[in-house]
Amino acid sequence: MLGLFSRDWAGLAIALLPAAVGAWCFTLGTGWRILGGVLWAVALALGLGAFRHLTHVARIRVRYPPPGSMVDVGGYRMHVLAGGDAGSRPTVVWMPGGHAGGYAMYRLHALAREQMRSVLVDRPGSGWSDPGPFPRTTAAEAVELLTALERAGEKGPFVLVGHSFGGLLMANAARRRPDLVAGLVLLDPTPPDAVAFGPALPALRRAPRDQTVLVLRHLFGLHPVAGKKETPASDDPAQVLAMIELRTKANCAAASILRELTPDGIIRDGWHTAVHDGELGSLPLLLVAPRDLTGGGEIFHAFDDPEESARVQHFFLTVRERFLAASSRARRVCTPEGTGHDFPDRVPDFVVRVVGSLLDQCGPPPDRGDSAGERPSSW
């Protein structure tokens, strides 16, 4: 079903169903004609909404063409945006959290490409990439990521950098193809243990359903249409990505893959998704995360029992450290004071310096000046 809904024209196809049933009702006689009329009215409303959505999609395609290359990965295309010079060091590949397009990390990419080879990749369904096959899984997307890099002409080995759910994807890719990976930087990555053994988090469990609701809203035009403020093409990466991902493929892909982040999903896919102790051998790995639980208060306020709340806090403080056991060369880096899970957006310079410090271990850096090569104080 999500595969069908990921096509922006699906709304028109769905609108034909009540229209056809309505026409059939008219053939049954006078008593059925009222129902037939109601169904035709429903079909007209759905059809107009679907046409509105298609008009919106056409406008966005013209206004925001892909800034990078569209790479075929086996019958569907992925968007790859690259810039900068690698020199003698590995190329850096960024992956945002959730199921957002790579453009969500454009600020980091813009900073990094001045110092290193930097690449953004849109997962299938996100950003400018085609939907790809369903169901979506982290394991499949790890293979697709490496295939897209290869077919885009990017040369490994790579330093893979992933935030949150994107960190789990990058760790999975490193486990599958260690020959293509020189290092791994995990920015407060999603630990599967938090899903399998953690407390019930309603927002996380509702995420697939919420994405499916957005699919239906967008499919029938129940989203903002470009207005006067959006007439000139915007250069703000957040707005560009928000406009691009109003297409139904983004919500369909997210609805599919976020099912992994439920207890049932982890039971089903965990063996292929998780990276276990020692599975990355001696791969250089940096786990970059806040030293405390800044920004996570809404999780703990859901528990009235102080002892239960304290246990939950201890659980989330310790569970992300499990990624350190994946490699014998793993190191912990604390983010600046006061930053929470969204620190890549808040302190992009810090993140780029951390990534640069790992690159310095992989080969001689190009001449960037002393300040650019300074190690972060919290190393």
pLDDT digits (tens, 9 = 90+) for 292-343: 888 766 666 667 788 888 888 889 889 989 999 999 999 999 999 999 999 9
Which of 10, 42, 63 is a domain's end point? 63
Are 300 and 337 found together in one domain?
Answer: yes
Are 190 and 292 found together in one domain?
Answer: yes
Classify residue 375: in a domain, yes or no. Answer: no
The per-residue pLDDT for 362 is 75
Are 291 and 358 found together in one domain?
Answer: yes
Six token digits for residue 28: 């049954």
Classify residue 370: in a domain, yes or no. Answer: no
Classify residue 315: in a domain, yes or no. Answer: yes
What is the bridge-based pairing of β-strands 118-121 and 91-95? parallel
Low-confidence stretches of the chain (pLDDT < 70) are 224-234, 296-302, 363-379
The per-residue pLDDT for 195 is 86
Classify residue 226: in a domain, yes or no. Answer: no
The per-residue pLDDT for 330 is 97
User: Could you give the CA distance from residue 160 to residue 153 in angstroms, rounded to a whole number?
Assistant: 16
Residue 162, domain CATH:
3.40.50.1820
The per-residue pLDDT for 308 is 83
Are 51 and 73 found together in one domain?
Answer: no
DSSP 321-366: GGGGGG-TTEEEEEPPTT--TTHHHH-HHHHHHHHHHHHHHHSPPP
The per-residue pLDDT for 200 is 79
Classify residue 273: in a domain, yes or no. Answer: yes
Note whether 221 and 53 are within 8 A (CB): yes
The per-residue pLDDT for 204 is 78
Are 289 and 358 found together in one domain?
Answer: yes
Are 36 and 77 found together in one domain?
Answer: no
* Tally of domains in the chain: 2
Which amino acid is residue 24, in one-letter code?
W
The per-residue pLDDT for 312 is 86
Host domain of residue 58 = 2-63
Distant-in-sequence, close-in-space partners of 187: CB < 8 Å, separation ≥ 6 = 161, 162, 163, 164, 166, 167, 288, 289, 343, 344, 351
The per-residue pLDDT for 7 is 92
What's the pTM value of the predicted model, to 2 decimals?
A: 0.89
Q: Which residues pair with 80 in a beta bridge?
A: 69, 121
The per-residue pLDDT for 243 is 85
The per-residue pLDDT for 351 is 98
Are 20 and 81 found together in one domain?
Answer: no
